[in-house]
Amino acid sequence: MIPFLDLKAQYSQIKPEIDAAVARVVSSGHFVLGPEVTAFEERFANYCRTTACRAVNSGTSALHLALLAAGVGSGDEVITVSMTFVATTAAILYSGARPVFVDVDPVTWTMDPSLIEAAITPRTKAILPVHLHGLMADMDPIMAIARRHGLVVIEDAAQAHGAEYRGRRAGSIGDLGCFSFYPGKNLGAFGEGGAVVTDRPEFARRVSLLRDWGQEAKYDHVIAGYNYRMDEIQSAVLNVKLDYIEHWTDARRSLAERYNALLSGLPFARPQPPQYARHVYHVYAVRSERRDDALNRLRDAGIGAGIHYPVPVHLQRAYAELGYRAGDLPVTEMLANDFLSLPIYPELPPERTAEVVGILRSAALRPSADISTRSEHPQSFMTWSHNRRAS
Ligand SMILES: Cc1ncc(COP(=O)(O)O)c(C=O)c1O
């Protein structure tokens, strides 16, 4: 048995501190937007190397409010990707804007900057790249295009706490950055949570107002807002966990290195973070045409594995009205067919990665005639994707 992630193992390592922090909140009688939230906001802004952080009740709320704070609304278009969790798209729709999908790069699996300019129209207001699996999108060209066209950039950093791009932290490069603290995230609360980080005081002020019913003072509602406030208990938990995030990230990165070494020579394409990146491995995904077989074998062996994500957002029934069809985003669709996420969490004993890869090796040894006519070799698989993009 190797679970996909083990939140109980994490709790057991920090139980005394967490229990004390929760007890402190309970006995304080202050449960929403209090001193724990304020302390967390200051510390998380520092961690992201931004001047401001506003904590909210989920990553989805963070995206929604970042869009509204940036002035995105009805009739606007937001350029984003479809290889993401649906929340990215949902938040754009909540704001009244329309998501416009561009394909992802076949090597980084994040927004392909070379496709952005063709997607810009007079209605485009923002670009919303997603730092998928903990690897930051190629931010320099994205920012250059945004500045050239007067567009806002909002980073979806829900999976990328502490990730870096040329030494700069996730959330600190765009105009606003959005995080999720859903329990399974690299920095996870004991329930829902999220945050917006920014260097722009006017954006921080708008998020403060919008998350708390648009109140400037009690019962003085200056704009129409929402109840998106963060709980004190969640902030208290996050304040404890923030002390461990770097240590946990190092553990994830060394597990990824182990997987990389063990998978060498097997027909599973490994993540290829570019030079610019500090990948934080919220997800460690490989690619294989034998994905379904490998997934079944892992599950049969009691190993938690998953697919992030099996159906891209543009092909989800819920978003059919956006008018996309199969074939519109070929790289995204290819990844959805090939992705396989392996267990990775800081408490995973490093030697157990060999058990996971042992199962993948058995899948690799299966005769391949019935699988596909495509090449079995991961490198030519990648080349195939590049050629396809060039054509
Ligand atoms: C890429 C991405 N964006 C947004 C979200 C939404 O965050 P939450 O679940 O906290 O609302 C998530 C997390 O689930 C995510 O993975």
Report pLDDT digits (tens) over 322-364.
999 999 999 999 999 999 999 999 999 999 999 999 999 999 9
How many CB atoms lie under 10 A from the CB of residue 307? Answer: 18
Which residues are CB-neighbours of 53 under 8 A, at least 6 positions away?
Answer: 40, 41, 42, 44, 45, 195, 196, 197, 204
Average pLDDT over residues 117-145: 98
Helix (H, G, I), strand (E, B) or coil at 229: strand
| C-alpha Rg value of the chain to the nearest Å | 21
Nearest protein Cα to ligand 1, atom 10: 59
CATH superfamily of 245-390: Aspartate Aminotransferase, domain 1 (3.90.1150.10)
More confident residue, 379 or 369: 369
Closest atom of ligand 1 to 84 CA is 1
Supply the pLDDT for residue 199.
98
Amino acid at 209: L
CA-nearest of 252, 236, 154 to 193 is 236
Average pLDDT over residues 284-311: 96
- Give the start-to-end residue ranges of the domains of the chain: 7-102+111-242, 245-390
Supply the pLDDT for residue 193.
98
The pair of three-digit structure tokens given for residue 160, joined into one six-digit string: 């990328």
Angle formed at CA 283 by CA 181 and CA 346, multiple of 5 degrees:
75
- Distance, in Å, from the CA atom of 36 to the CA atom of 16, rounded to the nearest integer, reads 18
Name all residues whose Cβ lies below 6 A of ligand 1: 58-60, 84-85, 87-88, 130, 156, 158-159, 180, 182, 192, 194
Q: What's the gap in Å between 22 CA and the centre of ligand 1?
A: 24
Q: What's the gap in Å between 265 CA and the centre of ligand 1?
A: 34
Supply the pLDDT for residue 369.
45
CATH number of 7-102+111-242: 3.40.640.10
Specify the pTM. 0.94
Strands 284-287 and 277-278: unpaired
